[in-house]
Amino acid sequence: MNEILLSGTRSSPQREAAARAIGCRARRPARTVRCILALPLLLLSPLPVQAAARLNVVATLPDFTSIAGAVGGDLVQATSLAKGSEDAHFVDPRPSFIRVLNQADVLIEGGADLETGWLPPLVASARNRRILPGQPGRVALASHVQLLEVPSAPVDRSQGDIHAAGNPHFWLDPVNGEKIAAHLADVFARLDPPNAARYQEGRKLFCDRLARKLAEWKRQMEPFRGTRVLTYHKAYEYFAARFELEIVGQIEPKPGLEPSPTHLNALIQRAREQGVKLVLVEPFRARKTAEHVARSIGAKMLILPEKAGGAENVKDYFGLFDYAVAQITGALR
Partner 1 sequence: MKTGTLLQWWCALGLGALPLAAQDAAELEKLQKQLREAQENFERVTREQRQLIENLARQVRELQRQGAATNVMPAAAPTGPTNAWRPSDPLRIGSKSAYADIGFVGTIAVGGSTASDIEGGLQPGGHDPNQRGFTLQGLEMGVTGAVDPYFRGAANLSFALDAEGETFLELEEAWLETMSLPWNLQLRAGQMFTDFGRHNATHLHAWSFVDAPLVNARFLGPDGLRNPGARIAWLTPTPFYSELSFGLQNSQGETATSFRSEGGHHHDDAENEDPPLAYRHADNDRGVSHVDDLLISTRYALSFDLTPSQVLLVGGSAAFGPNSRGGEDAGETTTQIYGVDLTWKWKSPRHQGGFPFVQWQTEALVRKYEAGAFDWSEEGAATDPNVVVDTGTGAPAVLSGETLVDHGLYSQLLYGFRKGWVAGLRADFVSGNEGSYERRALTYNGTALGRDPQRAQRWRLSPNLTWYPTEFSKIRLQYNFDDRLGIGQDHSVWLQFEFLLGAHAAHRF
CB 161, min distance to partner 1, A: 7
Binding-site member from 8, 27, 40, 44 for partner 1 (CB under 8 A): 44
Q: Is residue 99 at the binding interface for partner 1, with CB under 8 A as the rule?
A: yes
Cα(70)–Cα(66) distance, rounded to whole angstroms?
Answer: 6
Q: Is residue 237 at the binding interface for partner 1, with CB under 8 A as the rule?
A: yes
CB 99, min distance to partner 1, A: 5
Binding-site member from 66, 128, 227, 231 for partner 1 (CB under 8 A): 128
What is Dmax (Cα atoms) for the chain? 85
Cβ proximity to partner 1, 28 vs 129, nearer residue: 129
Binding-site member from 29, 40, 95, 194 for partner 1 (CB under 8 A): 95
CB 82, min distance to partner 1, A: 11
Q: Determine how many CB atoms are found less than 10 A away from the CB of residue 91.
A: 19
Cβ proximity to partner 1, 72 vs 259, nearer residue: 259
Q: Is residue 238 at the binding interface for partner 1, with CB under 8 A as the rule?
A: yes
Note every long-range contact of 267-275, with CB atoms under 8 Å and residues 24 or more positions apart, other chains counting.
267/230, 267/293, 268/293, 268/296, 268/297, 271/228, 271/230, 271/297, 271/299, 272/296, 272/297, 272/298, 274/228, 274/248, 275/228
Binding-site member from 9, 156, 312, 313 for partner 1 (CB under 8 A): 156
Q: Is residue 110 at the binding interface for partner 1, with CB under 8 A as the rule?
A: no
Quick check: 293 and 251 in contact, CB under 8 A?
yes
Q: Is residue 18 at the binding interface for partner 1, with CB under 8 A as the rule?
A: no
Binding-site member from 118, 171, 188, 317 for partner 1 (CB under 8 A): 118
Q: Classify 249 as helix, strand or coil.
A: strand
Quick check: 44 and 59 in contact, CB under 8 A?
no
Beta partners for residue 247, in sequence order:
229
Cα(318)–Cα(119) distance, rounded to whole angstroms?
Answer: 26
The C-alpha torsion from 263 through 266 and 269 to 273, rounded to 10°, is -110
Cβ proximity to partner 1, 166 vs 202, nearer residue: 166
Q: Is residue 145 at the binding interface for partner 1, with CB under 8 A as the rule?
A: yes
Binding-site member from 21, 53, 98, 248 for partner 1 (CB under 8 A): 98
Cβ proximity to partner 1, 85 vs 296, nearer residue: 85
Q: Which stretch binds partner 1 (CB under 8 A): 13-21, 27-35, 199-207, 278-286?
A: 278-286
Cβ proximity to partner 1, 28 vs 127, nearer residue: 127
Q: How many residues does the chain have?
A: 333
* Interacting residues of 142 by C-beta distance below 8 A, sequence separation 6+: 110, 111, 112, 114, 165, 166, 168, 170
* Interacting residues of 157 by C-beta distance below 8 A, sequence separation 6+: none
Site residues for partner 1 per CB under 8 A = 44-46, 83, 85-87, 89-90, 92-96, 98-99, 102, 112, 116-121, 124-129, 132-134, 142-143, 145-150, 152, 154-157, 160-161, 164-166, 173, 175, 237-238, 240-242, 244, 246, 256-258, 283-286
